[in-house]
Structure 1
Amino acid sequence: MKKVAFKTLGCRLNQYETDALASQFQDKGYKLVQFDEAADVYVINSCTVTHQSDHKSRNFINQANRRNKDSVLVVTGCMANNAKEELENREEINYVVENDQKTSVFSLVDAHFKGEIVHPSKLNTDLFSYGATDKGFHTRSMIKIQDGCDNFCTFCIIPSVRGRAASRPIQDILKNIRDVISQGAKEIVITGVNIGRYDFEGYKFDDLIEQILDLDGDFRLRISSIEPDGFGAKFLGLLNHPKMTPHLHLCLQSGSESVLLQMRRMYTVKRFKEIVQVIRAKNPDFNITSDIIIGFPDESEEDFSATCDVIKELNFGHVHTFKYSVRKGTRAERMPNQIDERIKTNRSEILRDLSEETKLNYRKSFIGYYQSVLVEKIDGEIAGGYGEHYIPVQFTGKEIQKNHFYQVKITGIENGSDPILIGELV
């Protein structure tokens, strides 16, 4: 039995695609092992959103355990598109596979071990035929509905490495979800590059979500990262559906109107606040998480202060902060008044401290209340998973099973970089 190891960087879409590839390899008789173990195949699903992402991807390429001289190293993902020539010139990498051919990674490796050397450019181009993810790395079942983006934000390289927006046929999506539910999936996570812009033969994003919620089965639905301009009133109404989880990751990027304008974002801070207010008016404890970019060109102290003020005002459940990173070929690369790296670092530290404070305060508000926890990990009698608000919960109980829901009363919180709610099994 050959062994395969994966390392995934970046977004949920990459995580989904790795889960599907890992499932395919196992279905074909491979054993899944940790990335730091000896394996016959190493697959690195890379990210290139920032310089830090590139650095991490290169580090994992360097760290790929090549104890078996006949092992195969495949690098795919966004860095494979953005730095293809550089990667192809590295002797230790056998194959560099771009995003739109990622579905064929297994067939490429299979051909290699049969003595057929196939150039990745000859692989089939297909964004959606990944198959099941039942043998992947996550209890939650991610479903890809869309790929690519047409927004062309001035800082973003994603349209260059993921291509223009493309939506998956709605019947394929619904069949995929029915299949994973029949296999026991309890939580469905909708993913893509810009999912709010889903558009297939007249079906928009909210139409798709409505049809998913109408499917039979004991499951809950979670929406992954979404742009604030990608939906309307109909979708906001669907957030109260009993199968919908009370959590959205809404990408703010900056709390300054002028910075958003320079970023070419398709919304305003005012509109973002209105969306949050509408959601929280119906569900005050709804978890809103977000992304913030620090140090965008010409970001003033006033702009940065405006971002901090928005974070305090909206009581985010979590804020993922990024230092702005110049991406070659983007409009922001050519903008004047690039911010000094030391200023970016200082602002990042301030924002992270603020984010940790708001996260802790938000999670403390659940003490004394209940969460429906989908168990993902069990260590003896200690079980861990996520509640419906996408907050980690740990509790103790006998005969607990993975991938099952348990009602838990929250009794306390364990402080740390990612505070965990502590509860009692009801």
Structure 2
Amino acid sequence: MTVFLPWFGHFGDLVRDVLPWLWARYRPGDVIGGNPAHAALYPAPPDARLWEQIAAFYPDGFDYRRRSDDLEVELRSVASRLWPDATLVAWQADGEDYPKPALALPTPYPVDVVVATRAKPYADAKNAWPWSDLVTGLRSRGWSVGLAGSIGESHAIDSDAAAWDLEEPGDAISGTLRLLRGARIVVTLDSGIGHLASLVDAPQLVLYDRRGDERRELPIRDGIPTRMRFGDMHRWNRNLCLPIFGGVDETIAAVDEALTRTRVVPGDPEAWKARHVSEVPGSEPGETLVMRSEYRSLVMRPSGNELIDACPIEEPVSAGPLPADDAVRSDRISICTACDRWSGDRCTAAGCPCAMLGRSDLASSRCPIGKW
């Protein structure tokens, strides 16, 4: 018997990396550790006893700034006591590209546009997106809007439907799945809900500030460079999956095009990239047609074609996190040297340097015991 230890990191990594690995390896009789509120994502109901420690450690949801070494040890200890003869496994990147999980999906909830009004408890470039203005603009044009995600990590915005109102007590995912399945178009950032949309083949638009951002590393969490994963969403989604760039006006224009005059049609993007949309059999005047392959989409408009490459741009390895300015560094050092966890010239609470905790010289670093 195998016990799959729970993943408690970012939701996007759970959807895109952990779940495919788990579904490929799970056998009847194995034990799954995971959030019971996300039971619909797993091949069998997760055992709640392995989630209790995580819920206590992260009462407001996962926060990458909190070091979790002791939690990982505790989870293995609990699993060993409950299933002493089992093999304990935890997800690690192994280079394999596992197939999409075959989820048992709930009944769709029809809505025109689904958005994920993401909000995190830490400084994050994605937190500032003007979701309220977007939703107001969409609804003013007569489109119904549904909010995907969880109530604890979403901006409170008036809408026509919210995932958390469609769920039974103890369930925090079925409402989002219902909205994604019933959506005419889904609008998200490069986030977990975006990956979930691609998993269920919901037609989707993924937001970025500038053209090319979808293929690069961007400073997202506290300025830490993070690889965007549009390419993964594009490869998974068998439906429309396009990046859009800019702000509210550009997004509304893209939604309007997707809802009123866009179709996905069969065809090889490479073979059609130099031909006019009117040459496509069955095309109608004024239509936008999209042809797609695993790594490319060709958007064909009467005004011309746009070839979208979803492969990541191979750039030099990032120089690393942003440095803290002198004033911040000085304040941190004063706090550290007065702390009882300071010994010699280092923080004894910070642990392994790769966690980047207790680093007074890095803007993204945090005190491991919350003093700065």
TM-score range, shorter chain: under 0.3
Structure 1 length-normalised TM:
0.25
Greater RCO, CA 8 A, separation 6+: 2
More strand by proportion, 1 or 2?
1
